[in-house]
Amino acid sequence: MNEFKDLISQVKKNCDISDAKYWGTFSICGLLLRLRELYRSENNIKHYHKISTRDIGEWINYKEKLWKELEGEEFKDIQINGNRYSPFEINNINQILKNNKLLYGAGLGVHSKPIFFLAELISNKTIKDIKIYIAG
């Protein structure tokens, strides 16, 4: 996915903006659990590996500073091949990405918090007019 570093960076930026705007909607316990999983994801740490308290503490400090900088920002357009798309134009973005076996998603999650992702498209199929995508 090295050729998609810029796209990955754009998606992560919108994730950070969403986190900055909505971090206060979770209880402290819920927030800490979510941060732990986000730390694992961003650092490619498997669930069975121990997380260093010092490392995650430094990372949380970094995230809190980043959120303060981003909480007033609007979501950024996604730029691909010189074209700009609203981050919620998932059909147009996926039309471009499908030949590269990638799947982009955006929508509203818990507490209507905007969510964004980019993943490897493993397979897709249609069942009773419903498109199903398997991503990893």
- Model pLDDT for residues 24-62, shown as the tens digit of each residue: 888 888 888 889 999 999 999 999 999 999 999 999 999
Question: Average pLDDT, stretch 121-131?
Answer: 94
Residue of 31, 51, 56 whose CA lies nearest to 111: 31
Question: Average pLDDT, stretch 6-35?
Answer: 90
Looking at the predicted structure, is the pLDDT value of residue 94 above 70?
yes
Looking at the predicted structure, is the pLDDT value of residue 23 above 90?
no
The whole-number pLDDT of residue 68 equals 94
- Cβ-based neighbour number of residue 25 at 10 Å: 12
Residue 24 one-letter amino acid: G
Burial (Cβ within 10 Å: 0-12, 13-18, ≥19) of residue 78: buried
Four-point Cα dihedral 104, 58, 30, 64, nearest 10: -70
The whole-number pLDDT of residue 25 equals 81
Q: SS3 of 6, please?
A: helix
Residue of 7, 11, 9, 5 whose CA lies nearest to 115: 11
Question: Average pLDDT, stretch 90-94?
Answer: 96
- Of the pLDDT bands very low, low, confident and very high (cuts 50, 70, 90), residue 1 is low
The whole-number pLDDT of residue 31 equals 85
